[in-house]
Chain A
């Protein structure tokens, strides 16, 4: 009896200890990439996940919106509160101070910018604080007509002086540095206008000025905070759709609707943004209807969540493009096109997407997010050809293989695809040593010191235009400390092309420049773009007005309950 019991206990111990082993599913996991998941055909309304990429935003976004407005014409629910879950907490909600998307999301809920975006199509600009605007002097001057009927949340009226002060404030914020470099000067004009002079004509300037970082703040309130020593980042007095009621650090932000919002009183009167550090817990809370909207789902939870009644899951193409970079400033990849081509032919993008992201993404062989202005639609990358890769490796002078170090941060959405790529490279003869690093170390070594052979990273476009990601990735001025040209590319022809695209106000000319750049990148194998990931979101099916947004900056002011 005792012997049997002992054996049983030993077996229980062995089984219990094995429960700690297994593939990770949350962020920070460094386990091996999951096997490709099968896409299941679910029977709920979200059965076939719409591949809502930015390239289809106008169409798909319109489809979703049409469905919403059709049903929305019927009675709306008396429910007027919304609980949103997010996996990270903002550090600051004042404009331009916190790079996290949820911080910018709350910022845009509480503040308005000079211009806004159409909630159903982020490429279309709509009036914000400015009722209208004019381009003058060949696009180098902007005249904004400021509304005179807008009040801050404390009841004080917004004036031209606040707008000027806000621009002074915005250009000093580190996050706005790229946009600030384009603004030359600004002053009050006639008849309640603000005149902004640009360093050069810049077509996407309105997109920059619509960003949360350039929101309009109250000069008097800011000065009061400075005088009293109040942390401006943790309070607000904007003109946006929502007023900050309460912020419990680490727990939730509670907002209430601003009834005098110039774009109309929101249907959702109360919003709580809850911090849920664990992605799986967030998905379970959505399943349990403890929260109504969850941003930050793990792709591994999507299939299961599709089976849950009452939930809508949307796979939104993100503003981030994943790529593999080769160090162009040192051996072995410097001046060795054949070697870079070997990597290009060895890469199977579909396999990387399946193995690294469970298939949740869109292969993007060209630069930038699909749907962004300047995205090259019909671009053909190098085909997957391992035999050709081996030939190129031999041609490059390494017939017996080559040892390289591949660096990647430990976050699963970098680490998992990296491991798949490394395995593909090993199959063609590379001896790859993968180094999974903590983020700070990875940034220090790869971004600042260019101390790597190959690395994996992601670019992000804050608004739907090619210029920012292309400029930071390809221009020679962006090499080095905290800059985006991680490959170290220094080509005057590329610099000239980028400048031409940036300063032209002719769309056709700009598109032609980006197409030429894409071809140059392919010919020279500078950067190997792989895929754009999806940002799955889930929300209660009765919540309407949700249109997929690549930047993830959702505003509940445009939602309503059915």
Chain B
């Protein structure tokens, strides 16, 4: 298990190097100049050249890239933001906790309600309840999130005045964005849960348990759900990765100063250090989440756990 974890962590290094190189190349090759975009259209050439010198933009591509990546590897220094002149890592971490709160809210809502309604749909297969839940999931996947967000704002914030429209200063500010971000994934979770549950609910041991008089609740939650968890856990892991990197539109609509907003602003102004640091940060987190999901499998499925234990025993006996 430990070897597996270390191996996966070591694999991160070439992945992150590759990401940084690709992003740096894209930002260097696309038209536009960070200094011009920062100073505006009316700044003169001398001012632009002076700022380029300050930002270290005057060297060649490889010179700039090697200097940049060397600073990261040797000093842990991601540089300063061209836009704000703050240390890049500070910028990213400051924004990240907003994205984390939003992602956590969305994952909590989509997982809890997704699993719950998925179970209900599976248990009451082909009933009106099942069909209704299916219709709701179809609607949730069809709605664009920017439209859903605006509708929720109009209903709950403007008309009913129950929740605030924009901002991120309190937990109430994360309810509407969390609902918006969770909608699509809740639908996927419902469908996956329903599908997994239907597979396991038809197993012989479930029929046996019923025949022995085990209460239905224990059958569903104690036996069936446990065995249906694997694909659901996979989906939740993928969901987490998406939420951390994919809430740009929601952050814009609800005024949440998260990583998505930072990324958009940085792309517009060609703030390359921030772009690379943000993407590498999200990539690292996504990889760690995937690793965590893989480790979780061992705890959910005894067969996978025993696989590691069998290997360990084999190594011990052979040694």
Residues of A within 8 A of B (CB): 5, 9, 12-13, 16-17, 19-20, 89, 91-92, 98-99, 173-175, 177-178, 181, 231, 233-234, 248-252, 274-278, 280-282, 284-285, 287-288, 290, 438-441, 443-445, 447-448, 460, 468, 472, 480-484
Contacts and interface: CB of A to CB of B under 8 A. Distances in A.
A288 B169 CA distance: 17
Nearest to B50: A174
Interface of B is mostly: helix
Contacts of A288: 157-158, 161, 165
B135 A12 contact: yes
Nearest to B98: A250
B317 interface: no
B44 A178 contact: yes
Contacts of A12: 135, 138-139, 142
Interface string B169-211: 1000000000000000000000000000000000000000000
A177 B45 CA distance: 9
Interface stretch (B4-12, B31-39, B110-118, B213-221): B31-39
B47 interface: yes
Given A16-B142, A274-B166, 9 more contacts: A12-B138, A174-B43, A174-B47, A177-B46, A231-B86, A250-B261, A277-B255, A443-B37, A482-B45
5 A-B pairs with least C-beta separation: A440-B32, A250-B257, A174-B47, A99-B40, A16-B142
A483 B95 CA distance: 35
Nearest to A20: B144
Interface in B30-71: 30-33, 35-48, 50-51
B262 A250 contact: yes
Nearest to A281: B166
Nearest to B95: A250
A234 B95 CA distance: 16
7 contacts: A175-B47, A181-B44, A274-B166, A275-B255, A275-B257, A278-B252, A440-B37
A276 B166 contact: yes
Given A249-B257, A250-B262, A284 B86 contact: no
Contacts of B46: 177
B142 A17 contact: yes
Contacts of B157: 284, 288
Contact residue range for chain B? Answer: 35 or more
Contact of A284 (B35, B43, B153): B153
A411 to B, nearest CB: 11
Interface in B142-170: 142-144, 147, 150, 153-154, 157-158, 161, 164-169
Contacts of B124: none
Nearest to B132: A5
A138 B258 CA distance: 55
B91 interface: yes
Given A175-B43, A249-B94, A250-B98, A481 B142 contact: no
Contacts of B262: 250
B43 A481 contact: no
A438 B35 CA distance: 16
B253 A281 contact: yes
A36 B244 CA distance: 41
A251 B164 CA distance: 14
Nearest to A174: B47
A99 B161 CA distance: 36
Contact of A233 (B85, B135, B166): B85
A160 B142 CA distance: 66
Contacts of B42: 99, 175, 178, 460, 468, 472, 484
A440 B153 CA distance: 33
Contacts of B37: 439-440, 443
Given A13-B138, A233-B85, A251-B169, A281 B255 contact: yes
B254 interface: yes
B139 A16 contact: yes
Contacts of B252: 277-278
Contact of B44 (A177, A439, A448): A177
Contacts of A173: 47
Given A9-B135, A13-B142, A287-B158, A440 B31 contact: yes
